[in-house]
Amino acid sequence: MDINADFGARAVVHSETLDWLASPMKGVSRRMLDRIGDEVARATTIVRYDPGSYFSAHTHTGGEEFIVLDGVFQDEHGDFPAGSYIRNPPTSFHTPGSEAGCVIFVKLWQFDMDDRTHVNINTRETNFVAERGRKGVETMPLYKDTREDVRLERWAAGVTVGIDAAGGAELLVLEGGFAESGETFGKNSWLRVPQGYNLAMTAGESGARVWVKTGHLDYVVQAS
């Protein structure tokens, strides 16, 4: 299965307009944003766990990165409320689920296979910092290495924001919204742009809080 598999093209999904599709696990459904492969896939997905639903125990051979959008995600390592940003590197193991129900934005099979760094940040308890040279922009670093830079950005209402997309860029709207290339992006809208794209957004009247990843499209890893 290929969904938005051309990484040389701009890709957009307004996920709130999509139906939820059942996964192989009862009580777990998803909205697919990009995908190369079937059930073992290089994938970017919004996943919904109904209350009391769980996935079977599994190892993340290619790593897993996610942010909790709503509810409380749970596994044997703890409870992760809305706003939690987690990186489970290749070879990590867990049994995910949610007693109360939750929604997460998750990326699979997109790690350096030698990466063994776990990350657990509660973004609701972490401060934004004003970004020097970018008026109206505040940032919260989440993860950075030689391959990618992952962060939250908060944009003031009406501000025009540029992002360096030399190595590609990907954004998910968490709150508020913005306009780009004449298109309006609201909550849970997703945008991926290719390497070297001239990326400029204008925040909406209530500003925007956005998950941002840059640099990673220099390294497109497929599941195997």
Per the prediction, the chain carries an average pLDDT of: 94
Supply the pTM of this predicted model.
0.95
Per-residue pLDDT reduced to its tens digit, 162-176: 999 999 999 999 999
Contact 107, 137 (CB under 8 A): no
Read off the pLDDT band of 213 (50, 70, 90). Answer: very high
Per-residue pLDDT reduced to its tens digit, 108-145: 988 888 889 999 999 999 999 999 989 999 999 999 99
149-152 contact pairs (CB < 8 A, 24+): 149/212, 149/213, 149/214, 149/215, 150/65, 150/85, 150/211, 150/212, 150/213, 151/211, 151/212, 152/123, 152/128, 152/209, 152/210, 152/211, 152/212
Minimal CA–CA distance to 107: which of 221, 2, 224, 27?
221
The mean pLDDT value for 201-219 works out to 95
Read off the pLDDT band of 45 (50, 70, 90). Answer: very high
Q: Does 106 score more than 90 pLDDT? A: yes
Q: Domains of the chain, with CATH numbers?
A: 2-8+18-122 (2.60.120.10), 126-218 (2.60.120.10)
